[in-house]
Amino acid sequence: MDGPVGSVSVALYAAYASNMDPEQMALRAPHSPLRDTGWLQGWRLTFGGEEIGWDGALATVVEDHTSQTFVALYDVTELDEQALDAWEGHEQGLYTKIRVRVQTLFGEELAWIYVLDAYEGGLPSARFIGIIADAAERAGAPEIYVKELRERPCDTLGSEL
């Protein structure tokens, strides 16, 4: 988006994993405030790329017309977007950025998300599931959503290291 001279250009980012946590995002993207929360209708949180993650499978979303995924929406500056791209492995081809529609209480918003460029499958670590559930809770996700996250299958052996 372009604004008046002297304004900062921002893009809307929808976080569905650990970046839902506003405190984490304040460290990774300090100029990009939380704007809202919402739902990716027709998308399911899943995991993949177990062979490339160092702590089990990595978070991603896939299209699934019977599902929805809670997201935190951030107004991200260009500089912070570059920093997030580095954090998420976008520059190395680990994640691809795509645009999606997010349902909020105020209507539909167009935002970008990171989608893992690997096959779905594998188990995330128990530690990673806990981080995602905590992030969802901090972002204001409904209790039932957080509970379902905490009950997801995970690798409890690898997370004891």
Catalytic positions = 88
Q: Tell me the pLDDT band of 2, cut-offs 50, 70 and 90.
A: very low
- Quote the pLDDT of residue 7: 55
- Quote the pLDDT of residue 10: 83
Rounded (10°) CA dihedral 86, 87, 89, 91:
-10
Q: Tell me the pLDDT band of 3, cut-offs 50, 70 and 90.
A: very low
pLDDT of 54 above 90: no
State both tokens at 48.
Answer: 């993949």
pTM of the full predicted structure? Answer: 0.90
What residues are paired with 91 via a beta bridge?
none
d(CA 135, CA 120): 22
pLDDT (mean) for 14-32: 97
Binding-site residues for substrate: 13-18
CATH number of 10-160: 3.10.490.10
> What is the share, in percent, of the chain residues with pLDDT greater than 90?
81
State both tokens at 89.
Answer: 């492995």
Instruction: Read off the amino acid at residue 81.
Output: E
- Quote the pLDDT of residue 92: 87
Binding-site residues: 13-18
